[in-house]
Amino acid sequence: MDLNTSLEELSWIPRPRILALRRLALETAGDLLRHYPRRHEDRREFRGFPSEETIGPVCLCGEVAKTRLMRFGGRKIFEAVLEESGAHALSQPLTCRWFNLHYIQKMIATGQQLVVFGRVKRKGPRLLIDHPEFEVIEDDEEILIHFRRITPIYPSTEGLSQRVLRALIFRLLEEVAVAPADVPLPASLSNGEDENALRKIHFPRNNEQLRKVRDHLVLGEFFRMQMQIAAARAENSARVGCRHQSRGLLAEQFIAALPFAFTGAQQRVFNEVKRDLQVATPMNRLLQGDVGSGKTVVAIAAMLLAVESGSQAALMAPTQILAEQHYAVLCNWLDPLGIRIALRTGARQEDNAPLPLFAHLRGSDFNSPGGAEGDSAKNVPAARAAHASGSIGSGSARVSRVGDGVTPSRTFSQTDEAPEARYSRRRLPDFEKPWTIYAVTIGTKKRRCLSPKARAIALDALRYFHTKRYELFAACVMPDHVHFLIQPWPKENDDAGNVVFWSLKELLHLIKSYSAHAINKAERKRGVVWEKERFDRYIRSQPDLIEKFNYILRNPWDSGVAQQNEDYPWVWAQEDDRRKESSFPRDAETNTRDACATRKEEDRSIPHIIVGTHALLYEGVNFTNLGLAVIDEQHKFGVAQRAKLTSREPAPDVLVMTATPIPRTLTMTIYGDLEISTIDEMPRGRGEIITHLLTGDKLGEAIAFLREQLSDERQAYIIYPLIDESEKLEAKAAAKEFEIWQERLRPFRCELLHGRVAPSDKQSIMQRFRSGETKALISTTVIEVGVDIPNATVMLIENAERFGLSQLHQLRGRIGRGAHTSHCWLVSSDKSTETITKLSVLEKTTNGFEIAEADWELRGPGDLLGTAQSGLPELKLGDLRRDAGLMRKARQAALELLENDPGLDSPENQRFRDLIVERQGQTFSHVS
Ligand code: ADP
Ligand code: MG
C-alpha cells in the first residue's frame, strides 16, 4: 500500500466513513494523511485547574460532577461542572456552558472524564468556559491514540468526530511504509524533517519535532507556490508583446494641460510604465496607491503612450458607476486631444456577439467549419473532447507555450474511468462567492423525459442569459436532466458600491422558470417541469474545469444516450457560438504595423480607448489591436476575467491598479508574478484628516461640530450602513434616517442618496452637492466609489463597527481632498474592546498600508483578499502572516533555482519539474 492507494481499497474502513471522507474530498491514503491537524493539544500531562481567568485558551481534563439544563427566555443553556482529578482543598470546579446546542446534552453525562479546550473566564464566584471544544475520554484500547501524547485536533468535520478521524489516521500511518512530504525541497530549504514528515505532523514526539516538521511542510507549500509564480513570471517575459514606440507627445500634452504637476511618486511610476511599454516583453505591472493618490492620471498618460504608438488601450473597472466615471474623466481630458473613447458596460452590451472563452483557438483546425473533421458527424464527440482539452488547457498563450512537451493534465485523462461517482449531491450555496464557477445539474420532476423540442427550449433558456447575467461554459441537456458549468456575473447597479453577484439560486430560478412554461406549452402538459437542482461542486482549478467541461460535453455519448457515431444536438459550448463569428485578421503583429503605417487613413469608427466593465471581455470585435489593458480595482475581478482580456497575441501590456493596499508579505504571493509600482505620496495641498471615535450617546457633540462646519461653508457626508436587505425596508430605513438628519441639521439643505435612486436623479443630486447647493449628503456607501468633492470636509459614519477597516478607509478617502483640515467621526454604540481596537486604528493612521496590516492582524488568517481567487495553490498548513519569514525563504529559493536553471534541465533539478507542470492546473493573479 502506498499514498496513492484509494481508501476504498482498505477493507478496515467502514463504508459510511469512506463516504464521509469523500465529502471532505479525501479519496486516497495520501489525501487523508495530508488532512493536517488544525492544532495539537499536549495531553501528556494536564495542568491543574486555574484559579483565575486565562488570557488564551487552555487544555484541561476533569470529571463531570454534575450537569443541568436551564432556560432563559428562548435560550437553552446546558452546563457541565468539571472537577479536577486529584482535587484538593483549594481547587475550584470549572463550569462549561453551551448555548442552544441541544445535542451536547446527549453527549455529556455525570462521571465522564472530559478534555476541554477554551478560554477560562470569571463570572462572579464561578470560573467558566463557554462553548469549549471537548472530547470524552473513553477508556478502551484506543486510549493511547488519543491521550498521553501530543494529540492532533483536526478541522471540524461533519459526520466524523475527532476521535474517529484520529483513529483512522493513526491506523493508516501504521500501514503505510513511509509518509514523506510531497514537495521536494532544495537543500537550502530543507531542515531534515522530510523523512516521514506526514507521520510526525499528526503524532509528533515532542514540541520541538512538531515545530520543525510543520516548518518543513509549510516550506513545501510555499516553495511550490513560489515555483509556480517564478515560472509564470519567466514565461510572461518570453511572450511576444508589442513594443510601443512613441515620442510621448500626446502624454506630454495631457500632462501639461493638467491643473497640477505630477507628484514625485507619480512621475517615478509613469517612468517605470513608460520603460515597460517600450520593450517587447509584455508589461505585467501592479500600480498600488492609496485612494486619492492619483493613479488614474498616471494610467491615462500610459494609455496615451500606447495610443500614440498605434495601439488601442482598454480601461476595465469593476462597476458600472466607476466605469462611467472613468469615461467622463477621460472624455473631459482627452477630447481636446482628438482621442476617440468608447464606453462598454454590462447594461449596454446586450447586442454584442460574445467573445469566445478561449480566444487564441481562433483559426485552429477545429474552428474552421470547412475542415473535413469538423463536418463529419462521426467525429463529433472526439472532436469535442479534443477541442475541450485543447481549449481550456491552453486557455492562455502562457499555458500553450508551456505546452511544449507537456502532456495534458493527469486529472483530465483520469476522467474516463467513472466520472459520475465523484460528484455528490450538495445543497445550493446560499451565499455568493465572487467569480466562482459552479457545476450544476438540474433534473426533471419525476424523471420526466423531455422531448427533443423541450430539450432545445431548455438549452435556449440556458444560453439566453449567457454573457448577460452569467457566463456559461458548457451545457448538455439530457433526456431527464441538464448539466452545465456556470459562472455568475456581478449585478451591475447594486447598492453599496461594492460588486454584488447574481446568486446561483436566483439564476437557476430564472433559468427554470424561463424554460418551464415554454416546455409545458410545447409538450401540451402542465405541472412542475424541474426538480430541485443539484449543485455538484465548485470548480477549484483549471484541471477541474477541464474535467467537468469534458464530462459535460461527452455525457450523451458516455452515458449511452447517443450512439458513438450519432450527433446529439443538445450539447453546447461557448465555442459553438463563436464559429459564427466573422473571421478577423489573425496576425495581430501585422495589424499593429498596418495601424502604424496607415495612421492617416485610419477608420474613424474605431475607438482609441475603450472603457468598460467586465463587458469588455466580450468586446473582442472592437479590439482591433489591443496594446495596453488597464484594470482598475483589480482585486474585484476574477483571474479568468483578466486572463480573457489579455490572452491574445501579441500579448498586450497590462497595468493593474489597486487602492486596497495589502500587507507586504501578501504582495509576494498574490502579486508575486507582477512588477510593482507604488505611489506612496499624496498630492500636495491636501488637508489633514482628523479622525474621532464617538459612542452613540455623545452624538450631540458631533452634530454641534457639523453645524459649525456647515455654517463655515463646508460640506458633509453622513454615511450609514444598510441594515435591511429587502428593497422596501431599505428605502424606508433610508428615508427615516434622512428625516432625522434633516431635523438635526436644519436649516442646512440635506439630500438623500442610496442605491435605489434612479441614475438620472443620482446625477442631479451629486451635481447639487458638487455645486455647494446641498450642504450635507446622507448616503449609503454608494459614494465610496470615486466621488471627488474637495469642499466636503466632514464625514460622519454611523454604526462604524459594521464596516471593515479597509472600507472605512476608502470611505474616509472621500474627504481630505481640499486644502482644509477634514474631520471624520466614527460613531458606534458598540463598546466592546474588539470594536474599539479596530476603530482606533483609523484614529491613529491614514496610511493605507498600515491599515491593511492592522486589518490583517485583527482578522487573523482567513481570506483577506481571496487567495482562493488568485488561483494559487491552496495553503493547508501555511499561514501567510505568521509564516512570512518562511515565505521569503521559499521565494528566494525558487527565484534562484529558476534563474540558474530556467528549463530545470540539470539532473538534480528534474525533481522540481512536476511543481511547474502542475501549474497547468492553476491560474494566476496576473493575466497571462
Ligand atoms: P485614485 O488613486 O484614488 O484613483 P485619482 O486618480 O482619482 O485617485 O485622483 C484623485 C484626485 O486627485 C483627482 O481629482 C485627481 O485629478 C487629483 N490629482 C491627481 N494627481 C494629482 C496631483 N499630482 N496633484 C493634485 N491633484 C492630483
Ligand atoms: Mg481610482
Question: What integer pLDDT is reported at residue 209 of this predicted model?
Answer: 92
Contact criterion met (CB below 8 Å) for 393 and 547: no
pLDDT (average), residues 566-584: 63
Cα–Cα distance between 191 and 180 in angstroms, integer?
13
**pLDDT band at residue 879 using 50, 70 and 90 as cut-offs:** confident
Instruction: For CA atoms 249, 250, 254, 255, give the dihedral sign.
Output: negative
Mean pLDDT of the residues in the chain: 77
**Is ligand 1 within 6 A of the CB of residue 659?**
yes
> What are the grid coordinates assigned to 420, written together?
459520475
pLDDT (average), residues 503-525: 88
State phi, psi for 289 to the nearest 5 degrees: -175, 140
**pLDDT band at residue 96 using 50, 70 and 90 as cut-offs:** very high
pLDDT (average), residues 117-143: 86
pLDDT (average), residues 583-593: 35
Q: What is the DSSP letter of 813?
A: T
Contact criterion met (CB below 8 Å) for 30 and 182: yes
Cα of 784 vs centre of ligand 1, distance in Å, is 15
Q: Is the pLDDT of residue 612 over 60?
A: yes
Better pLDDT: 1 or 12: 12
Cα–Cα distance between 304 and 339 in angstroms, integer?
9
Per-residue burial over 623-637, b if 16 or more Cβ lie within 10 Å, else e, is bbbbbbbbbbbbbbb
Strands 500-501 and 490-491 come out as antiparallel
pLDDT (average), residues 891-900: 89
Q: What percent of the chain has pLDDT above 70?
A: 78
Say whether 752 sits in a helix, a strand or coil. Answer: strand
Q: Is the pLDDT of residue 288 over 60?
A: yes
**pLDDT band at residue 911 using 50, 70 and 90 as cut-offs:** confident
pLDDT (average), residues 596-605: 51
Could you report the per-residue pLDDT of 66-82, keeping only the tens digit for each? Answer: 999 988 877 889 999 99
Could you report the per-residue pLDDT of 522-569, keeping only the tens digit for each? Answer: 888 888 889 877 766 677 666 677 778 888 888 888 888 888 777 888
**pLDDT band at residue 430 using 50, 70 and 90 as cut-offs:** low
Residue with C-alpha cell 491537524? Answer: 37
Better pLDDT: 121 or 45: 121
Q: How many other CB atoms are found less than 10 A from the CB of residue 50?
A: 15
Q: What ranges in 425-472 are assigned the alpha helix state H?
A: 452-464
Could you report the per-residue pLDDT of 140-152, keeping only the tens digit for each? Answer: 777 788 888 899 9
> What are the grid coordinates assigned to 500, written together?
454584488
Q: What percent of the chain has pLDDT above 90?
A: 23
Which ligand minimizes its atom distance to the CA of 289? 1
Question: What integer pLDDT is reported at residue 635 of this predicted model?
Answer: 65
Cα of 291 vs centre of ligand 2, distance in Å, is 7
Question: What integer pLDDT is reported at residue 852 of this predicted model?
Answer: 81
Q: If we measure between CA atoms, which residue out of 789, 784, 782, 700 comes closest to residue 745?
A: 700
Cα of 705 vs centre of ligand 2, distance in Å, is 30
Could you report the per-residue pLDDT of 898-910, keeping only the tens digit for each? Answer: 888 888 888 888 8
Cα of 629 vs centre of ligand 2, distance in Å, is 15
Q: If we measure between CA atoms, which residue out of 859, 902, 54, 907 comes closest to residue 401?
A: 902
Question: What integer pLDDT is reported at residue 873 of this predicted model?
Answer: 62
Question: What integer pLDDT is reported at residue 375 of this predicted model?
Answer: 35
Cα–Cα distance between 147 and 208 in angstroms, integer?
19
Cα–Cα distance between 106 and 121 in angstroms, integer?
25
Most confident of the following: 241-245, 476-480, 755-759, 829-833 = 476-480
Q: How many other CB atoms are found less than 10 A from the CB of residue 868?
A: 15
With helix as H, strand as E and coil as C, how does 59-78 read? EEEEEEEEEEEEEECCEEEE
Least confident of 107-116, 179-188, 616-625: 616-625
Least confident of 77-81, 350-354, 399-403, 585-589: 399-403
**pLDDT band at residue 434 using 50, 70 and 90 as cut-offs:** low
**Mutation choice for ligand 1 from 630, 788, 806, CB with most ligand atoms inside 8 A:** 788
**Is ligand 1 within 6 A of the CB of residue 262?**
yes
Upstream peptide bond of 747 is cis (omega within 30 degrees of 0): yes
pLDDT (average), residues 468-485: 89
CA-closest residue to ligand 1 atom 25: 683
Which ligand minimizes its atom distance to the CA of 301? 1
Question: What integer pLDDT is reported at residue 176 of this predicted model?
Answer: 84
This prediction has a pTM of: 0.61
Least confident of 97-111, 117-131, 608-622, 717-731: 717-731
Better pLDDT: 723 or 62: 62
Contact criterion met (CB below 8 Å) for 574 and 472: yes
Question: What integer pLDDT is reported at residue 854 of this predicted model?
Answer: 84
Rg (CA), the chain: 30
Question: What integer pLDDT is reported at residue 413 of this predicted model?
Answer: 26
pLDDT (average), residues 404-433: 37
Strands 530-538 and 490-491 come out as unpaired
Most confident of the following: 398-402, 587-591, 595-599 = 595-599
Contact criterion met (CB below 8 Å) for 623 and 610: yes
**Is ligand 1 within 6 A of the CB of residue 293?**
yes
> For residue 823, what are the contacts with CB-CB under 8 A and spacing of at least 6?
689, 690, 691, 692, 705, 709, 793, 794, 795, 815
pLDDT (average), residues 164-172: 91
**Is ligand 1 within 6 A of the CB of residue 289?**
yes
Cα–Cα distance between 488 and 434 in angstroms, integer?
8
In angstroms, the Cα distances linking 590 to 149, 245, 295, 587, 770 are 70, 15, 32, 6, 48
Contact criterion met (CB below 8 Å) for 299 and 634: no
Q: Is the pLDDT of residue 716 over 90?
A: yes
Least confident of 174-183, 267-276, 533-542, 566-575: 533-542
Q: If we measure between CA atoms, which residue out of 361, 357, 629, 610 comes closest to residue 470?
A: 357
The beta-carbon contacts of 180-184 under 8 Å, at least 24 apart in sequence, are: 181/216, 181/217, 181/220, 182/3, 182/30, 182/34, 182/220, 183/220, 183/221, 183/223, 183/224, 183/915, 184/911, 184/912, 184/915
Better pLDDT: 738 or 577: 738
Question: What integer pLDDT is reported at residue 127 of this predicted model?
Answer: 92
Cα of 682 vs centre of ligand 1, distance in Å, is 9
**pLDDT band at residue 575 using 50, 70 and 90 as cut-offs:** low
Question: What integer pLDDT is reported at residue 787 of this predicted model?
Answer: 66
Q: Is the pLDDT of residue 658 over 60?
A: yes
**Is ligand 1 within 6 A of the CB of residue 99?**
no
**Is ligand 1 within 6 A of the CB of residue 294?**
yes
**Is ligand 1 within 6 A of the CB of residue 291?**
yes
Which ligand minimizes its atom distance to the CA of 299? 1
Question: What integer pLDDT is reported at residue 321 of this predicted model?
Answer: 67
Q: Is the pLDDT of residue 884 over 90?
A: no
Could you report the per-residue pLDDT of 276-287, keeping only the tens digit for each? Answer: 999 888 898 999
Question: What integer pLDDT is reported at residue 432 of this predicted model?
Answer: 59
**Is ligand 1 within 6 A of the CB of residue 788?**
yes
Q: Is the pLDDT of residue 650 over 70?
A: yes
Question: What integer pLDDT is reported at residue 261 of this predicted model?
Answer: 93
Q: Is the pLDDT of residue 362 over 60?
A: no
CA-closest residue to ligand 1 atom 18: 294
